[in-house]
Amino acid sequence: MKIVDLKCAVIGGSPIVRIVTDQGISGFGQVEKYKPYLKPFVLQFREPLLGADPTDVERTMLRIRQRGAFKPYGAAISAIEMALWDVAGKAAGVPVYKLLGGKVRDRVRVYNGAYRKPMARHRPEDFADEMKRMMALPEGFTIVKQGISFHSPMKNEPGYFYGEVEKSSLHGWLDRGPMTERGMAYTLDCVAAMKEALGDKVGLALDCGPGWMLPDAIRFARAVEKHHLMWLEDMLTGDYVPFVNADVYRDLTQSTSTPIHTGEQIYLRQNFKDLIERQAVRVVGPDPCDVGGIAELKWIAEYADLHGILMAPHGVGNGLLGLAAHVQVGATLPHNFIAFECPVGDPEWWYDIVDGLPNPLIRNGMIEVWDRPGMGVDLVPERAKRYLAAEDTAFFD
């Protein structure tokens, strides 16, 4: 089998990758939503991939892997990798998890991710109400993650920190600075309100930044130890930050019993090496749609497990094709796996243009692992074509 074409079309804001083969089998991958600008970046890899055997996934990836980078530029490489696995599974007639070593679990735990709603206000009682809404959802999430502090509009509150919020059209703009006493107390009150609402029935994780300075991060992590949080995410680095700072994270981790988490923006296993070997965090959270793909994520999970570090992959904007990839790799991860951040179909019509998802998708916070070949979720050309731009009408040809 050989690759005869690489195509990319933007569907609902997400660049969708299609690997076309000489045996009539196509594989699909999805770039995280809000990145339509990456379509040309994807298409530059067409020529290097032509003629490769897509079922030799690792050998094919060696042609392009070094061309990626930290978020957002690892997304193009990751989507191609997932499309290759989709082809390989379809060609072999087996689900992708079989090619990754087989299942460790029949159900994969997820947390709320894209099920969060924007909050009009950010008082402690508002956070408590949001937790109650989450617990009432039919998906039955057993872990809830909430954005607070620098990863939320809380940072816009007057006197929240000793700095100014910069206005930017770029998603993930890095505002950071020392916390005021008022800001710290306000944040702690919000956490206490959330925990009171959740009780011990549902685990609470907090997406905190990036933006914190180390002394404030230490003070906060110690103050919330009594709440037994699942983790504190991206306090020092994170979304769109193109470096790791493992030594600073290690100082934070060693100062507290509250688990510290990071990794969504990091590209490739090599860039997790310091975080894992230095015991710099208690939880790593690579995103399969940014880290280089699902095999890359599995390698990181296994290496983390050898060092006693847990795994909770990021995935809020990965769409339904990304969701399928999460389920396939999540079934194969070692026992350090906690849960992955569950994406949704956005816009809602995505659920009409794909086949293969179970209905209902999530029960008791878990997704049953399906057994259809490849990623097991297929784009339906007849339904998807209506959402293609004029320049992408040949995507399914």
pLDDT in tens, 205-255: 999 999 999 999 999 999 999 999 999 999 999 999 999 999 999 999 999
pLDDT-derived band of residue 107, with 50, 70 and 90 as boundaries? very high
Q: What's the pLDDT score for residue 169?
A: 81
Does the pLDDT at position 33 exceed 90?
Answer: no
148 and 251 within one domain: yes
Amino acid identity of residue 96, one-letter, is V
Q: What's the pLDDT score for residue 170?
A: 83
Radius of gyration of the chain (CA): 21
Does the pLDDT at position 317 exceed 90?
Answer: yes
CB 176 within 8 A of CB 210: yes
110: tokens are 């997820």
CB 228 within 8 A of CB 221: no
Q: pLDDT per residue over 172-182, tens digit each?
A: 888 999 999 99
Q: pLDDT per residue over 344-381, tens digit each?
A: 999 999 999 999 999 999 999 999 999 999 999 999 99
5: tokens are 């074409």
134 and 74 within one domain: no
Model pTM above 0.95: yes
103 and 71 within one domain: no
For residue 181, is it within any domain? yes
Cα gap 99→354, rounded to integer Å: 23
129 and 13 within one domain: no
112 and 78 within one domain: no
Q: What's the pLDDT score for residue 220?
A: 98
Amino acid identity of residue 220, one-letter, is F
**DSSP state for residue 157 in the 8-state scheme:** S
Cα gap 208→211, rounded to integer Å: 8
Q: What is the CATH number of the domain that holds 235?
A: 3.20.20.120
| Total number of domains in the chain | 2
Cα gap 225→363, rounded to integer Å: 30
Q: pLDDT per residue over 249-297, tens digit each?
A: 999 999 999 999 999 999 999 999 999 999 999 999 999 999 999 999 9
Q: What is the CATH number of the domain that holds 86?
A: 3.30.390.10
Domain range for 242? 98-378
pLDDT-derived band of residue 387, with 50, 70 and 90 as boundaries? very high
Q: What's the pLDDT score for residue 382?
A: 96
Average pLDDT of the chain is 97
259 and 196 within one domain: yes
